[in-house]
């Protein structure tokens, strides 16, 4: 039947059909980009944001919770405004901003909701709630922001904010998307994975106009959001609040540690800020103000500021000398002011006397024996060997390295090595007389207030410490804190050497820090002065108490407050009283500290 | 003695079976296109398009019965009258038709809307068969060529006035029938070359490449022509004509209004106008392409159901099938169409009279053209022209006209023995 031209027609029909089927095969079977485009078209992924975990203090007082805020959403198609002025007054929005936001909404979509006013607080929302029904095309979406009921511990808790571009690119798990909130500092940042919970996703079908048409695959793929886990902080909120009050008007830091556990009871950076200002709609504006503040309230001093340790370091020197057998409690040196300046006290002194009187020449002479052990006949080489050996011992006290607190931004401080002096003076060009100021905690060494408090904890514990940390339990489970906080660390000094040190520290208060003395609680402490070439020296004090069963070890820095016996020792003493007895019964001392204003 | 007209065993039930299979699948797809899960209604609900299509199918069955019981000679005898009547209606349409989407292509009769241009197709087919059945009619003669082409171009001209480019274009399908009936091959060679050159001109952005290709082709032809100077000159002339055509085409396209330019350019790059003309093609390809090998399942399509594809129940009905039944579904559907077309070629060839054979080829031509252009348009191989997919697309005019077109031929075929007696 199919012959000649009829065959041509039949073949043409077949060929065209094959071409169509071929093209269909290409777009339907070999190319899956159309499937993805179809999903983008019709399947809307709605993220269900989980509640962020809460943070409690060690006595279960709430430190951070989630506060509802309200986004006023607009659907441009339904929205019309007769009296713009009244609307602006009611919702406290500038007319230009209203117009700008509404224009953005229209550009986004004519029928889909878009935030017209973001993050209205619940107080403001209560005011406008009743008027909402007057306006068509507006509705409210509830979100939450962090809220801090006691306005305290900003440096501990940190803040959350929108994820930055670099954080986004570092997120290898691809959990975050643009616009997500993440912790930027403090506990919020360090415990982000625990606090954030798990986002849920709902897949919704939408038609071409963006109108919902039900769940995709009956919601089988949907996941519920999982709320974040709650944290229990090691912070004692009452102590923290009291310390913040004492440090008001001053520049400096306080770190209080429970020596037996390394739990940080209080960590104060002054001046600080109310953490509530870095939440909600005004975040950007307020952050700018804090960031530009010359007093640097965002600078977390306890872990970021570094000072020379000063006289307090003499205790470390004593312990190393004892451990190495270079000195004994009975070793005496004359207070030879020709070597290094000192104040007037009986001379010569043994170790007890040296600590009690903070005798500089004693340590000048003792340290020389630690450094120059005559291992090499060359005095330069001998000094180098001695220094490096000594440095090893010092590092065991948690110095010159980050302790590893659960907050980002910790500084390591520094203890000089022979390599450093080689760099400064040249190899073989320096000896003990070059570096002797290390003996009294001056010179090329820096420690942070946190490391200082940790020293106090080591002295209290007679030789060991736990890495100071801010979180006690995750979701009520203490075993879930990072393992490094459960590990007992050794300072390399035998416990027997600490008895004399503790006695001397308790005695030292009567010499240098009489204000810190309490009637019924025995405090062991040591004053220090961090030299400040730019002005008045910084007042430093470390202590632990009670001496026989230490429950708190503390370091206090008050900048520009002169020597440590004044502001720092008084502050520490008040905090110890507060922590151990729950109240303070020394109003005069309290007033003295509160009145001291050392920022100038 | 005249035999009984309705001779059931002489009716080609294969064709009828294919017809109902296509109509049924089309109806299912119309339901899928309008189906709304949140507001699900029965496929028989007369308030939605699937229900309405059922009415059109029912009335189409009545039309079939009328055609089958009518005297087969009626169509032969009435062909000229029918043609004249529909040409008259087409003449009037631009003036009294209802304006929809800027076109006056519809007649409103009470609640019904009919598109005369759809029905003019079978009338034109009948009148062409009538004209060409004369044994003295010879398509190798220019005069007879002009007569046939004239009958085709009259409705084209009138439909362009509405203006309805797509439907007008359909009438060029009759050239397939003319080819079978002996139209000189050279016209088709020239025509197809022009189409090819047109596509190349539009597809190749840089004219240098195009002209280079033409030059290379001419050089090749000259070398192959064995250095005959006469042939060489002829080829050079051909080269010049091609170049001139390409240049003038570029010029014309540039002078076209933007939206028409886009309609053409969008074939080569759907991104030209993604939210305008490109939208239809892009969304249609997404719908079909997302179907995969086996499809998403009946009523599970998202693209057509949620209105991403415009005109999904009419001109873009193929998208629903492609999305929900995948490539296998497309294969089945295209196979059904090819089977129908080849069956009709077979039937046409077995006719004893020229009238029946020519009419049969007209049916093949129109169905083939509609089918090819419609599917090619949904997958981006042809510009978007609003023509329906025969038997599939929603709409009374289109279903009725294709039913009448097809069943007149089935009727003629079932009476081919009787016609034998009166053949010329």
Q: Would the pLDDT of A346 be above 90?
A: no
Are both B49 and B173 inside the same structural domain? yes
Q: How many CB atoms lie within 10 A of CB A569?
A: 31
Q: Which residues of A touch B191 (CB under 8 A)?
A: none
Residue A578: pLDDT band with limits 50, 70, 90: very high
Q: What is the pLDDT of residue A418?
A: 92
Q: What was the pLDDT predicted at A565?
A: 58
Question: Domain boundary at B201, B236, B255, which?
Answer: B255
Report pLDDT for A161: 87
What mean pLDDT is predicted for residues A108-123? 81
Confidence of residue B415 (pLDDT cuts 50, 70, 90): confident
Would you say residue A111 lies in a domain? yes
> pLDDT band at residue A598, thresholds of 50, 70 and 90?
low
Instruction: Work out whether the CA dihedral B261, B262, B263, B267 comes out positive or negative.
Output: positive
How many distinct helices (H) and strands (E) make up chain A? Answer: 22, 18
| DSSP category for residue A163 | P
pLDDT digits (tens, 9 = 90+) for A376-398: 889 899 999 999 999 999 999 99
Chain B contact present for A23, CB below 8 A: yes
Is the pLDDT score of B110 beyond 70? no
pLDDT band at A597 (very low <50, low <70, confident <90, very high): low
Please compute the mean of the pLDDT values over residues A88-98 and round it to a whole number.
Answer: 85
- Count of domains forming chain B: 2
Most confident option among A41-55, A257-271, B89-103: A257-271
For A461-491, b/e burial (b = at least 16 CB within 10 A) is bbbbbbbbbbbbbbeeeeeebeeebeeebeb
pLDDT of residue B421: 43
Cβ of B306 within 8 Å of Cβ of A6? The answer is no
The verdict on B66 and B156 lying in the same domain is yes
CA atoms within 13 A on the CB side of A246: 32
- Mutation test of the interface with chain B: which of A4, A10, A17, A25, choosing the one with the most B Cβ atoms within 10 A? A17
Give the single-character DSSP code of B352: S
What's the pLDDT score for residue A384? 92
Q: Which of B288, B291, B345 sits opposite A10 (nearest CB)?
A: B345
Mind giving me the DSSP string for A291-311?
Answer: HH-TT-TTS-HHHH--B--GG
Measured between beta carbons, which residues in chain B are less than 8 angstroms from residue A30? none
How far, in Å, CA of A569 to CA of A233, rounded?
26
Structure tokens at A291: 């960031």
Last residue of a domain, one of B255, B284, B314: B255
User: Of A14, A2, A12, A7, which Cα lies nearest the Cα of B350?
Assistant: A2
| Model pLDDT, residue B202 | 78
A496 burial class (0-12, 13-18, 19+ CB within 10 angstroms)?
exposed
In the stretch 30-59 of chain B, residues with CB closer than 8 A to chain A read: 36-38
- Say if B381 is an interface residue toward chain A (CB within 8 Å): yes
The answer to the question of residue B337 being in a domain is yes
- More confident of the two residues A142 and B109: A142
Residue A239, pLDDT above cutoff 90: yes
Q: What percent of chain B has pLDDT over 70?
A: 90
The pLDDT value recorded for residue A313 is: 94
Q: Within 13 Å, how many C-alpha atoms sit on residue A19's CB side?
A: 15
- Whether A264 is in a domain gets the answer no
Give mean pLDDT, residues A217-242: 90
d(C-alpha A137, C-alpha A76), whole Å: 7
* B337 has pLDDT over 60: yes
Up-side HSE of residue A277: CA atoms within 13 Å toward CB? 15
Per-residue three-class SS string for B123-184:
HHHHHHHHHHCCCCCCCCCHHHHHHHHHHHHHHHHHHHCCCCHHHHHHHHHHHHHHHHCCCC
Do the chains contact at B285 and A27, CB–CB below 8 Å? yes
Which pLDDT score is estimated for A2?
64
Burial of B329 (0-12, 13-18, 19+ CB in 10 A): buried
Long-range CB pairs of A32-36 (<8 Å, 24+ gap) are A32/B292, A33/B289, A34/B285, A34/B286, A34/B288, A34/B289, A34/B290, A35/B289, A35/B290, A35/B292
CB of B306 within 8 Å of any CB in chain A? Answer: yes
Give residue B114's domain range.
8-183+256-421
User: Can you tell me the ipTM of this complex?
Assistant: 0.90
- B226 and B357: one domain? no
Confidence of residue A600 (pLDDT cuts 50, 70, 90): very low
Query: Is pLDDT above 90 for A562?
Result: no
Helix (H, G, I), strand (E, B) or coil at A428: coil
Q: How far is CA A571 from CA A250, A588, A589, B404, in A?
A: 11, 12, 9, 104
Provide mean pLDDT across the span A25-35: 90
User: Are the C-beta atoms of residues A393 and A417 closer than 8 Å to each other?
Assistant: no
Residue A365 maps to a domain: no
Smallest CA-to-CA distance from A557 within A414, A404, A400, A451 is with: A451
The answer to whether residue A582 sits within a structural domain is no
Chain A residues touching B381 at Cβ < 8 A: 19-20, 23
**What is residue B275's predicted lDDT score, i.e. its pLDDT?**
64
Do A205 and A43 touch, CB atoms closer than 8 A? yes
Q: Which residue has the higher pLDDT, A195 or B46?
A: A195
For strands A212-215 and A231-233, give the pairing: unpaired
Average predicted confidence (pLDDT) for chain A: 88
Assigned token pair, B306: 């949620």
- Integer CA distances (angstroms), B38 to A113, A206, B50, in order: 21, 12, 17
pLDDT, average across residues A357-362: 90
CB contact A224 to B (< 8 Å): no
Q: Which residues between 307 and 346 in chain B have a beta carbon less than 8 angstroms from any beta carbon of chain A?
A: 307-308, 322-323, 326-327, 330-331, 334-335, 337-338, 341-342, 345-346
At B111 the pLDDT is 64
**Does one domain contain both B261 and B238?**
no
Contact A6 B307 (CB under 8 A): no
- A98 falls within a domain: yes
| B268 within a domain of the structure (yes/no) | yes
Chain B environment of A29 (Cβ under 8 Å): 292-293, 327
For the CA atoms of B217, B223, B226, B232, the dihedral, rounded to the nearest 10 degrees, stands at 60
Residue A216 φ then ψ, to 5°: -80, 130
- Enumerate residues 6+ apart whose C-beta is below 8 A from A355: A314, A315, A318, A501, A504, A505, A507, A508, A526
Residues A38, B302: C-beta atoms closer than 8 Å: yes
pLDDT, tens digit, 9 for 90 and up, residues B279-312: 788 888 889 999 989 988 888 888 877 778 877 7
Residue B167 corresponds to which tokens in the numbers above?
Answer: 């439907």
In the three-class reduction of DSSP (H, G, I as helix; E, B as strand; rest coil), residue A264 is classed as strand
Looking at the structure, do residues B249 and B177 belong to the same domain, yes or no? no
The pLDDT of residue B420? 46
Rounded CA separation B214/B302 (Å): 46
Look at residue A107 and tell me if it is in a domain.
yes
The whole-angstrom separation of Cα A544 and Cα A350 is: 23
Listed residues B194, B222, B255: the one ending a domain? B255
> Across residues A100-125, what is the average pLDDT?
83
Predicted pLDDT of residue B2: 45
For the segment A101-124, the average pLDDT, to the nearest whole number, is: 82
Condensed to tens digits (0 to 9), the pLDDT of residues B114-170 reads 788 888 999 999 999 999 998 899 998 999 999 999 999 999 999 888 778 888 889
Give the model's pLDDT for residue B8: 65
Among the listed residues B302, B319, B266, the one whose alpha carbon sits nearest the alpha carbon of residue A37: B302
A window 34-93, beta carbon within 8 A of B: 34-35, 37-39, 41-43
- A35/B289 CB distance under 8 A: yes
A311-325, A569-583, B259-273, range with the lowest pLDDT: B259-273
Burial class (CB in 10 A: 0-12, 13-18, 19+), B389: buried
Supply the DSSP symbol for A26. Answer: I
Residue-number span of the structural domain to which A85 is assigned: 71-145
Residue B258 has pLDDT above 90, yes or no: no
Question: How many of the other CB atoms lie within 10 Å of CB of A411?
Answer: 16
Q: Hey, are the CB atoms on B307 and A209 less than 8 Å from each other?
A: yes
The whole-number pLDDT of residue B312 equals: 77
Asked if B307's CB is within 8 angstroms of A208's CB, the reply is: yes
| Least confidently predicted of A211-215, A478-482, B251-255 | A211-215
Residues of B in contact with A20 (CB under 8 A): 334, 372, 375-376, 379, 381
On whether residue A477 sits in a domain, the answer given is: no
Q: Name which residue leads in pLDDT, A352 or B98.
A: A352
pLDDT of residue B276: 66
Distance CA B78, CA B80 (A): 6
Find the range with the poorest average confidence among B230-244, B254-268, B390-404. B254-268
Shortest alpha-carbon distance between residue A214 and chain B (Å)? 7
Contact (CB, 8 A) for A543 and A572: yes
Interface test with B, best of A9, A205, A209 (most B CBs within 10 A): A9
CB within 8 Å of chain A, chain B residues 212-271: none
Which of A504-508, B68-72, B371-375 has the largest mean confidence? B371-375
Q: Do B38 and A214 touch (CB under 8 A)?
A: yes
Q: In the predicted model, what is the mean pLDDT of residues B76-84?
A: 92
State yes or no: pLDDT of B273 exceeds 70.
no
Instruction: Judge residue A148's burial from the number of C-beta atoms within 10 Å of its C-beta, 0-12 exposed, 13-18 middle, 19 or more buried.
Output: buried
Measure the CA–CA gap between A319 and A394, rounded to whole angstroms.
Answer: 10
- Residue B1 confidence (pLDDT): 38
Confidence of residue A95 (pLDDT cuts 50, 70, 90): confident
pLDDT at residue A10 above 90?
A: yes
Question: Which residues are A200's β-sheet partners?
Answer: A48
Region A409-432: what's the mean pLDDT?
Answer: 92
* Residue A295, domain member (yes or no): no
The closest of A256, A278, A332, A289 to A542, measured between CA atoms, is A256
**Is beta strand A200-206 parallel, antiparallel or unpaired with respect to B112-114?**
unpaired
Number of folded domains in chain A?
1
Q: Where are the alpha helices (DSSP H) in A542-585?
A: 567-581
pTM, whole model, 2 decimals? Answer: 0.66
Which pLDDT band holds residue B424 (cuts at 50, 70, 90)? very low
Q: Which chain B residues have a beta carbon less than 8 Å from that of A12?
A: 176
Decide: helix, strand or coil at residue B30.
helix
Q: What is the pLDDT of residue B331?
A: 96
């Amino acid at each position: 039947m199919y012959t000649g031209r009829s065959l041509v027609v039949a073949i043409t029909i077949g060929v065209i059909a094959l071409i169509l089927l071929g093209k269909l095969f290409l777009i339907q079977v070999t190319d899956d980009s159309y499937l993805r485009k179809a999903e983008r078209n019709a399947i809307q992924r709605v993220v269900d944001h989980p509640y962020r975990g809460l943070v409690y203090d060690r006595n279960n007082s709430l430190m951070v919770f989630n506060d509802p805020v309200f986004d006023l959403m607009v659907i441009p198609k339904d929205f019309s405004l007769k009296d713009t002025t009244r609307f602006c007054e009611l919702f406290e929005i500038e007319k230009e901003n209203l117009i700008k936001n509404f224009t953005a909404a229209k550009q986004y979509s004519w029928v889909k909701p878009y935030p017209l006013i973001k993050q209205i607080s619940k107080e403001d929302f209560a005011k406008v709630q009743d008027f909402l029904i007057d306006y068509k095309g507006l509705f409210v979406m509830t979100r939450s922001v962090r809220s801090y009921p006691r306005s305290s511990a900003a440096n501990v808790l940190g803040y959350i904010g929108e994820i930055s571009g670099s954080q986004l690119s570092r997120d290898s798990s691809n959990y975050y998307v643009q616009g997500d909130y993440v912790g930027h500092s403090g506990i919020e940042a360090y415990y982000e994975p625990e606090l954030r919970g798990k986002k849920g996703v709902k897949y919704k079908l939408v038609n071409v106009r963006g109108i919902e048409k039900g769940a995709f695959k009956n919601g089988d793929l949907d996941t519920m959001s999982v709320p974040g886990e709650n944290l229990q902080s090691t912070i004692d909120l009452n102590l923290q609040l009291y310390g913040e009050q004492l440090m008001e008007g001053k520049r400096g830091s306080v770190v209080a540690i429970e020596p037996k556990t390394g739990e940080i009871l209080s960590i104060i950076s002054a001046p600080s800020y109310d953490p509530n200002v870095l939440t909600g709609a005004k975040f950007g504006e307020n952050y700018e103000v804090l960031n530009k503040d010359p007093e640097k309230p965002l600078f977390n001093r306890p872990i970021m500021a570094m000072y020379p340790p000063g006289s307090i370091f003499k205790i470390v020197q004593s312990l190393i000398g004892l451990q190495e057998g270079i000195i004994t409690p009975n070793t005496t040196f004359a207070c030879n002011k020709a070597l290094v300046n000192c104040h007037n006290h009986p001379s010569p002194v043994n170790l007890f006397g040296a600590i009690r009187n903070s005798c500089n020449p004693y340590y000048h002479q003792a340290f020389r024996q630690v450094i120059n052990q005559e291992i090499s006949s060359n005095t330069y080489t001998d000094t180098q060997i001695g220094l490096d050996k000594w440095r090893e011992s010092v590092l065991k006290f948690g110095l010159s390295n980050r302790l590893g607190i659960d907050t980002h931004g910790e500084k390591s401080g520094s203890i000089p090595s022979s390599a450093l002096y080689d760099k400064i003076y040249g190899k073989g060009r320096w000896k003990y007389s070059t570096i002797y100021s290390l003996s009294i905690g001056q010179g090329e060494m820096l420690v942070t207030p946190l490391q200082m408090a940790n020293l106090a904890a080591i002295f209290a514990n007679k030789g060991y410490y736990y890495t100071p940390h801010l979180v006690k339990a995750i979701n009520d489970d203490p075993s879930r804190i990072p393992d490094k906080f459960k590990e007992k660390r050794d300072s390399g000094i035998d416990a027997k050497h600490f008895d004399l040190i503790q006695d001397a520290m308790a005695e030292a208060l009567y010499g240098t820090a009489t204000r810190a003395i309490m009637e019924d609680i025995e405090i062991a402490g040591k004053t220090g002065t961090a030299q400040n070439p730019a002005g008045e020296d910084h007042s430093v004090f470390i202590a632990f108490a009670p001496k026989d069963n230490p429950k708190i070890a503390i370091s206090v820095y008050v900048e520009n407050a002169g020597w440590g016996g004044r502001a720092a020792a008084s502050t520490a003493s008040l905090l110890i009283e507060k922590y151990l007895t729950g109240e303070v019964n020394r109003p005069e001392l309290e007033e003295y500290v509160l009145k001291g204003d050392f920022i100038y | 003695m005249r035999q009984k007209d309705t001779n059931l065993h002489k009716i080609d039930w294969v064709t009828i079976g294919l017809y109902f299979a296509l109509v049924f699948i089309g109806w299912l797809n119309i339901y899928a296109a309008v189906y709304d899960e949140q507001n699900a209604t029965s496929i028989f609900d007369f308030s939605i398009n699937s229900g309405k299509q059922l009415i059109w199918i029912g009335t189409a069955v009545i039309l079939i019965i009328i055609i089958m019981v009518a005297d087969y000679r009626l169509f032969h005898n009435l062909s000229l009258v029918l043609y004249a009547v529909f040409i008259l209606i087409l003449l009037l349409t631009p003036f009294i038709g209802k304006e929809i989407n800027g076109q006056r292509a519809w007649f409103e009769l009470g609640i019904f809307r009919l598109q005369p241009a759809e029905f003019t197709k079978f009338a034109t087919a009948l009148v062409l068969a009538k004209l060409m059945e004369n044994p003295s009619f010879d398509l190798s003669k220019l005069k007879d060529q002009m007569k046939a082409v004239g009958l085709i171009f009259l409705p084209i001209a009138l439909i362009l006035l509405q203006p309805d480019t797509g439907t007008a274009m359909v009438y060029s399908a009759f050239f397939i029938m003319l080819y079978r009936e002996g139209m000189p091959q050279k016209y088709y060679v020239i025509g197809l070359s022009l189409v090819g050159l047109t596509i190349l001109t539009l597809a190749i952005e840089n004219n240098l490449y195009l002209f280079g290709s033409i030059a290379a082709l001419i050089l090749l032809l000259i070398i192959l022509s064995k250095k005959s100077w006469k042939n060489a000159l002829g080829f050079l002339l051909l080269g010049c004509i091609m170049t001139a055509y390409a240049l003038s085409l570029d010029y014309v396209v540039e002078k076209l209004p933007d939206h028409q330019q886009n309609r053409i350019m969008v074939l080569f790059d759907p991104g030209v106008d993604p939210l305008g003309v490109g939208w239809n093609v892009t969304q249609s390809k997404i719908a079909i392409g997302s179907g995969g090998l086996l499809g998403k399942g009946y009523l599970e399509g998202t693209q057509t159901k949620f209105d991403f594809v415009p005109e999904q129940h009419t001109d873009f009905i193929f998208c629903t099938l492609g999305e929900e039944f995948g490539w296998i579904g497309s294969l089945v559907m295209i196979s059904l169409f090819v089977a129908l077309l080849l069956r009709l070629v077979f039937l046409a060839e077995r006719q004893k009279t020229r009238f029946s054979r020519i009419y049969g080829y007209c049916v093949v031509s129109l169905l083939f053209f509609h089918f090819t252009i419609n599917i090619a348009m949904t997958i981006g191989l042809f510009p978007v022209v609003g023509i329906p997919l025969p038997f599939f697309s929603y709409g009374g005019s289109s279903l009725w006209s294709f039913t009448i077109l097809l069943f007149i031929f089935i009727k003629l075929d079932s009476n081919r023995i009787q016609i034998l007696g009166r053949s010329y």
